Structure 1
Amino acid sequence: MKNNSGFTLVEVIIVVAIVAVLASIAYPSYEQHIIKSKRSEAMAALINAAQAMERFRVSNYSYDLPNGLSDVFAIQVPVDGGAKYYDLTVVDTASTYTLTATPVGSMAGKDSALTLTNTGLRTWNGKNCWPEGSNDC
């Protein structure tokens, strides 16, 4: 009798099916993790931009930036260059400002805009909170 070694077609199909099931479970979780990490970077950029706005106000007695947010802070996330996934904008007057991070590029359609005002009000997806800030957001 000849002793054959190797895998049968049925065994290979079973392994491929198991890998496919595991990938179908793991990939959406991975994608959500990437979205969360990019959103966290946008939230950090908004906080840093707000600090830059406050420093500008201390020096100039006004939030009114002559050339927009680019006067005091980067206008994209990631702030150090690379492919952007959020655009930062500001609507400012002498006494108020509203910073907004709008998803673009790889985040377009996957997330909602984040906002931060001079009073500290944070909004996301129609709610007055940021997603990683509480369980009810």
Structure 2
Amino acid sequence: MIKVDLSTLRYNRLNQGFTLIELMIVVVIVAVIAAIAIPSYQHFMRRAIAAQAQQEMYKIAEQLERHKLKNFTYLGFNARYLYPAPPSPRVDSFVETTQTLSLPLESSIPKYTIRIRDGGNANPLLTGTTAIGQSWVITAISGDVKNFSYLLTSTGIRCKTITPVNININPGSSTPPAKVECGAGSEDW
């Protein structure tokens, strides 16, 4: 009579592991989830940084209007007080000499570059000596070709475009269009 030890049989059956088919099914499920989740997450992140760019543009526009109420002109507006220089080693997102803000704030890899300019011909800085100070133009240019670039002006233009080279902020330019706009394929925001 052959004696079989049931505890050994049960132990061997539990330690056989997974079959190749079971592992392949798990790999396929993970691949499908990743194929759906990663693009969705990237789209969400693009929308989030675009919303931050719009928010910062509105914040600057509000402060420009406050400046004009106090001084009767936009001349001399410097956004440095909105974005004080952080202590080292953090990255300073605002460049005072060019009135340029990089987003996300304090990031070494900018996803948006916001520029504040005079609304007159040639668009000098509002802190510059050649600025007129009667209007302003704010642009937010995306570093991601899949994200919108934005234009906001004191005259009420609010537009966005996927192609940032279409944005014309110089009303006196000799190249068409000779007006401030986002160009072909743009939409309001």
Pair 1:49 & 2:75 matched: no
Q: Which has the higher contact order (CA 8 A, sep 6+)?
A: 1
Residues 41 and 117 (structure 1 numbering): CA distance in 2 closer, same or farther, change over 3 Å? Answer: same
List aligned pairs for 1:125-136, cutoff 5 A. Answer: 125=161, 126-130=185-189
Residue identity over aligned pairs, in percent, reads 31
Cα deviations by residue, 1:28-55 (Å, 9 ceiling, x for unpaired):
1111000000100000000001011111
**For this pair of structures, how many residues does the alignment match?**
124
Q: What residue in structure 2 maps to residue 90 of structure 1?
A: 116
Q: Max radius of gyration: which structure?
A: 2
Any idea what the Cα deviations from partners look like across 1:83-102, whole Å, max 9, x if unmatched?
33211112214211110011
Amino acid of the structure 2 residue aligned with 1:110: K
So what's the TM-score if we normalise by structure 1? 0.78
State the Cα deviation string for residues 86-120 of structure 1 (Å, max 9, x = none): 1111221421111001123xxx3231311111133
Matched ranges for 1:1-137 at <5 A: 2=9, 3-5=12-14, 6-65=17-76, 70-71=79-80, 73-74=82-83, 75-79=101-105, 81-83=106-108, 84-92=110-118, 93-104=132-143, 108-125=144-161, 126-130=185-189
TM-score norm. by structure 2 comes to 0.58
Could you list the runs of 4 or more consecutive aligned residues of structure 1 that deviate by over 3 angstroms after TM superposition? Answer: 69-74
Contact 1:102–1:113 (8 Å) recurs in 2: yes
The structure that is helix-richer by fraction is 1
Superposition RMSD in Å:
2.2
